Amino acid sequence: MSQNEKKPKTIGLVLSGGGIRGMAHIGLIKAMHENGLEADVISGTSVGALVGALYANGNSAEDMLQFFRETPLFKYNFFAINKPGFIDTERYYPIFKGYFPNDSFESLDKPLHVVTTDLMKGEEKVFYQGDLIKPLLASAALTPVFSPVDIDGVLYADGGVMNNFPKEYVEDKVDLVIGSNVSIAGEVRKKDLKNSLQLAGRITGLMIYASSHKKLTECDLYIEPLELEKIGVLDKKGIEKAFMIGYDHGSRTIEKWFSKE
């Protein structure tokens, strides 16, 4: 069967959270584009929401990478004052405005669903219309590093707390679902679990991974590159490596899928 014969009518793309490892999402998107696969609807959490927004905005893979290269993770004048968290998330608004000048979901080329966590009600909240930038900032506000974002008097933070792989928002709308999970929880050494903070981080990581992995395997096509485990979640030096890992895995996965009769 040729690629043209096998191409689905509509495609949904689901992108997980996972910090810098999320550059693998961009690699997958490049591989999709090279194989004539374009998503019609997108859902994402945290870095997955950011990549999804750039993709829905019509930005190229290189543009997306440049966004993450240029956006500072830690900047002395971004430190939070009288806010919970070390970094004031809303200080990133002007940077995002440069990429999304219209600041609305409606201005994007593709429908996008952005998952956040309502810290006050303790529940998942998905944004898909209206203002765009604040929901994006909230979805990526990894606690306790980044401060929650105030939207209409409600504090929202990292969507990965409640739903790190939001497949639910695309699966009923498309013929084929492509997923990318970069929240990897591989094996650790005993010496890496010596204190309460390390233990809490490990438990949280395992819970997020278990939930994401199960939904990921229900996708028609997916990548979950274990090599990403060696890249730090907030290590900007890993941008190019994570991108190439995603591209390689995406290319092989798509090629294998096309080769099936």
Residues annotated as catalytic (active site), given as ranges: 46, 158
Of the candidates 146, 173, 154, 191, the residue with the CA atom closest to the CA atom of residue 47: 146
Buried b (16+ CB within 10 A) or exposed e, 176-206: bbbbbbbbbbeeeeeeeeeeeeeeeeeeebe
Look at residue 225 and give its three-state secondary structure: coil
Instruction: With beta carbons less than 8 A apart as the criterion, state whether 224 and 216 touch.
Output: yes
Q: What is the Cα gyration radius of the chain?
A: 18
**Tokens 């497949």 appear where?**
167
Instruction: With beta carbons less than 8 A apart as the criterion, state whether 205 and 162 touch.
Output: no
Q: Using DSSP, how many helices (H) and how many strands (E) does the chain show?
A: 8, 8
